[in-house]
Amino acid sequence: MNYKKFEKGDRVRYVPSILDGDYNDIACNDGVVSSVTDSFVFVKYDFSGYVMVTGEEPYTAQATLRETLVHMEWVRTVNKLKGINNV
- pLDDT tens string 2-49: 457 999 999 999 999 999 889 999 999 999 999 999 999 999 999 988
- Long-range pairs for 75-84 at CB < 8 Å and ≥24 separation? 75/13, 75/23, 75/24, 78/23, 79/24, 84/24
Q: Whole-model pTM? A: 0.85
Distance CA 64, CA 77 (A): 23
Distance CA 36, CA 78 (A): 25
- CA 86 vs CA 10, 22, 41: distances in Å: 19, 14, 25
